[in-house]
Structure formats: C-alpha cells, structure tokens
Structure 1
C-alpha cells in the first residue's frame, strides 16, 4: 500500500531530468497544509509522545529510531535532518514539510526549532530491574524526585543528570511526573540518556537502595550538613523536594543524612533544577 506521507512517485522514464532536491514529503497542497485538528491537539495515540526541538529529536533518532512514528519540519530544517528523512523514506515512516505556524500549533509552543516528532513513550522501569542493570560495586548517583512537577524543571534536571552520568531518576509509585514535549526540549537530548525508574512503597524502595549499597541524602534548604564540607559516599541517592512545598518531612527524617547548599542569604534558596546541578557536580568531583 502506498504511503501518502512519503515522497512523490518516481517520474516515468523519458521525462527530462529534474533538479535534484533533498528527500521531502509529497509536494502537493496537503504537504504544506496545517495538520488535522486531532493531530495538532492530541497526537495519534496515548502510547505516543509529541517531541519538539532539534536535540530532542536527534537524540531519539540516535538511540531508538524505531520509536519514531511521524515527523513534521519546516523546509529550512531539511539540511539538518537529512539522515532522519532518508531513514523515514527507507522505513516508510511519514513526514511532512509544513509552515512555521503549523509547527507552533503542533507543538503548542514556539520553541520547536523547526521540527516536531511523534514517538513511542518509554515507560519507567521497575526498581528491581533497574538495580540489576548496575554493575556490582561501581560508584553511582541517582535522583529521587519527591513531588517535582514543573516540566521545565524536570527537563533541566534530566539535562544535568545526563551531563553528570546519573544512573537513574527514581519516581514514587504515585508520581504523575513523566517526559513531556516541554521537558524533553529543555533536556536537550538528556531525556533519552537517563533511565526513569518506578519505585514501590517508600520503605521498601529505601531498603532496596540500601541493600544495593546506596546512601540516601535529603537535600534541604537549611539545617543540613554543608554540601562542600560533607564526605559523600560512592553510591548516593539525592532526594530532591518539590518546587514549592519542599521535601516530605517523614521522608527527610528517614534518609541517612541531610545536605544543604550554603549561600549568601540574599535569596532563600536555589530552585530544584539549579540545586540538582550543584549537588550532582559536587558528587562527581568527590567520586573521582
């Protein structure tokens, strides 16, 4: 069956030679028309995620191209996306060249950088499965996100986690936090690099982590040990609190230590994404 998303059919033999162009979607009016309303609003399936931004799309193509379902791009992005478009042609994956305004609607954002893609979601892996992927005895850091909900903060955390080689991001079993288009764009490819892990009951998760050699550190605005003076273990889980309410008090009390980032006092604290980068940088420096 032909696929109307892909290139137009080859010209019949004997036609005059045409000027060669990069691979692109069919060039009739439908290729430049706004996408249907249902595509603009919700994507094709709950199992899919709408990504936007060059690095976010490049990262999916590099790590799991089979997850790509549709691609939308502006004509100006064809040179930067030639390998992806050639793969789409070969695999009969739909792509469409559209106008800038169409991408604004598809992404529900003007920060799409000329490309939008629908891809299959990756579900968080169970805690036990994740622990079995870690080599015995090797250093490692993980992030336990307790109530973090802002997608831009989550994206910045993913970017820092990828930069510093975090082993995993741990999500409470009732957490609704998930990769979104906004988070993936801010992560600049980091969303494809760091495993998301779904924990069970809090007490059981903490016990599993300790059995695997991890210590749990509650990150608190005040009252904790000075991060820059603390001795950090080789295997460490930073427990990061919510943007507004901070960390659950019972969870903080159940951790092995409490850490704070000293500052000038001119502002109350760093936001959770900035604080995460500082905590991870210090762990990286100490773990060498």
Structure 2
C-alpha cells in the first residue's frame, strides 16, 4: 500500500469511560481471547459506554497558524490573527482613560497638581491647561466655579473618594482635590530679559543645587510672596513636582520659569542688563569675604543667587556676597527661610 494512502487514513483512538464497570468476561478468558486469531473482532466488542474519537491528519500546518477568525466586540467585528492566544488583549471598554493611557506622553506633557490653594492658583492663572479634575464630595462646594467651567468646556471631572485620590497622587496630603494639567513651557533667560526690558524694578531668583521638592516649594512660595518675577533653574522640570507645587501653595503659577544650562554665563548676561547679582551663603564662612544683610544697599534690578553647596564660581561672579549672622546654638537657617529673610529687605 502506498505511504500517502496510509497517512490520509483516519487514526482511531478508544477512550475508556472513567466510571467503574463490571467486566463481562473473566480475566483469564480475556487473556485467551486476545491471544486468539480473531483478536481484531474481539477488540471491536468493547463496552457500549466506550467512545471512538477520530482524528484526521493535517496536511498543511502553517495554514492553521495563519488562519484568522472574527471576534464580536461591542457589536463590531474585528479580524484578529490566530498566531498565539496571548498575543493580543482586547478592551471591552472603548473609552480610553484620560490619565495613564500613554505613560511616556503623560510624563512629558502633563503633571498632577493637588491641594486646595495650588489647584485654585492653576484655575486663576492658566485654566486652559487643565485636562481633568478629581475631587471629593466634601470639596465640590469650594470648587463650584471650576466645575461649572469644566462642564462648559466639556472637560471631565470625577467625584471620587479620598482613598482614590491618594492612589492617583501617591500621597495622603492631597487636600481632597487633584488636577491633571499641561506642563508649563520654560523661557530662556534671553526671552525673559526681552519680555521684562521695560520694567524699572525686577527681581530674579537663581536657584542652584536645590533638589529637595519641599525646600524648592518653600523658596517659590517666598519668591511669590515678595514679588519675584522669575526663577532660574538648571532643571525646570523640578517645578512640575506635585510635592513642590503643594508646598508652594500656588506660588509656582505666579513666577516665570527660566531654564539655564550655564549659570556663570547667565549671571554675566544679567550683569550686562543692569542687574545687581547677590549671592546668599547658606552660613557664614570665614574663608569667604561676605557682608551682613543690614549693610547691603539693593538696586532696582536684583538677581539673588542661592545654593545649598557653596559654588565658588558663582560666588566669584556675584557683585555682593551676603550671609545671615546666627549664634552658637543655631549658626544657619533653612535655605528657604534664609531666602525669605533676604527678600523681605529688598523693598526697604
């Protein structure tokens, strides 16, 4: 017989039922029957509860792998390749979430703002940047105007529990309200100087090597309180931190963000535009010549340089170096507190 003919024949398997059955003949008789010449006929006389399963051999295995089938999803038919059962996951919900769907784009373009004052400041200064609102039922009355504006603009807002906002913000200090907003676009120092060239009085805060979001938020809050117009940083994305915004209590929205990759060159540019550059030491250092705060006369345009670790290049570039005199019990203040003390003397 030809080999191709043998392969095309169906293969027969016998599957026994799991239930126990009484043998219809003795074991000794079975032995003799299997050894008899009519063994094939005896083999067919099996229990009536047995079933016969027939498997037809496949001629083309690759065709099965490339076979496509139709899935009915939300009354729409989608063709899906049957290459692997784990290859694709189907969403039963056609609505894409506003936050967290495209992680890279979200981190690049959007950020979270939480706490009452910070969210109110965003709504006051740049409401067009708001994407979505998460709020608890208790806080809806205080943000009634914001909710009405979101409804008019057809933007989403969700009334959720405090625990759900805590999961979104990854903190318990959210104040029952959270906004998804577009990040601000930072200015270059040259653009800032061109935009503020007509001002007689101006103050710029140059912050170097302050990466703690709580210290940074305290600095921005003091800067906004004393009327500082611009804040210069190497990494302006630090101002988009939710913790820094919360500590700043909305002060981030009141100041311009200026990006500078080279602080020495930026300080020289400020000096060329008539700014008085003042470097504030974190504490009094004997090896560095500095003056006390009450001895300083401030000009109309001032740039205050702040750093946590003493940077001699910035100190040498400054017009005046200032320190706050302490005592043996407390020789230095927190960087944000010391900056507030200095800024309070600008208008005297």
Moved more, 82-91 or 217-226: 217-226
What is the aligned partner in structure 2 of residue 32 from structure 1?
A: none
Tell me the distance in 2 between the aligned counterparts of 1:38 and 1:120: 14
What corresponds to 2:291 in structure 1?
225
Alignment pair present for 1:235 and 2:296? no
Q: Say whether residues 1:82 and 2:169 are aligned partners.
A: no
In the superposition, relative to structure 1, how do residues 42 and 96 fare at CA in structure 2: closer, same or farther (>3 Å)? farther
Match of 2:148, SS state, is helix
SS at match of 1:233: coil
Aligned pairs for 1:53-202 within 5 A: 53-136=115-198, 138-172=200-234, 177-202=238-263
Deviations 1:29-81 (A, max 9, x none): xxxxxx99947x99945200101001111111111111000100000011001
Consecutive unaligned residues of structure 2, counting only runs of 5 or more, are: 1-96
- 1:51 partner SS: strand
* Counterparts of 1:62 and 1:189, CA distance in 2: 10
Q: Mark the CA change 1:134 to 1:175 in structure 2 (over 3 Å): closer, same or farther.
A: closer
Go from structure 1 to structure 2 and tell me whether the alpha carbon gap of 1:175 and 1:283 turns closer, same or farther (over 3 Å shift). same
SS, match of residue 238 in structure 2? coil
How far did residue 176 of structure 1 move? 5.8
* Equivalence for 1:281: 344
Q: Which has the higher contact order (CA 8 A, sep 6+)?
A: 1
2:75 matched residue in structure 1: none
What secondary structure, in the 3-state scheme, does the structure 1 residue paired with 2:158 have?
Answer: strand
Q: What SS is found at the alignment partner of 2:218?
A: helix
How far the C-alpha of 1:189 sits from its partner, in A, is: 1.0
More displaced stretch, 105-114 vs 201-210: 201-210
TM-score normalised by L of structure 2: 0.67
| Between 229-238 and 198-207, the greater mean CA deviation after superposition | 198-207
The residue that corresponds to 2:334 in the other structure is 271
Q: Secondary structure at the match of 1:46?
A: helix
Query: Contact (CA 8 Å) 2:264, 2:314: kept in 1 or not?
Result: no
Among 249, 254, 264, the residue aligned to 2:312:
249
Give the match's secondary structure for 2:112: strand
Alignment RMSD (CA, Å)? 2.2
Count of aligned residue pairs for this structure pair: 247
CA distance in 2: counterparts of 1:147 and 1:175, whole angstroms: 12
In the aligned structure 2, how far is the partner of 1:190 from the partner of 1:152? 13
Q: Deviations over 1:105-155 (max 9, x none)?
A: 111111111100100000220111100121436122211111011101111
For 1:204, the equivalent position in structure 2 comes to: 265
- The whole-number CA distance in structure 2 between the counterparts of 1:112 and 1:70 is 15
Gap runs ≥5 in structure 1: 1-34
Contact kept in structure 2, 1:147 and 1:175, CA below 8 Å: no
Distance 1:51-1:42 versus aligned 2 partners, 3 A rule: farther
SS of the residue 1:132 aligns to: helix
Label 1:118 to 1:254 Cα distance change in 2 as closer, same or farther (>3 A): same
Is contact 2:236-2:258 (8 Å) kept?
no
**8 A contact 2:233–2:260 mirrored in 1:** yes
Mapped to 2, the partners of 1:194 and 1:36 lie a distance apart of 28
> TM (normalized to structure 1)?
0.80
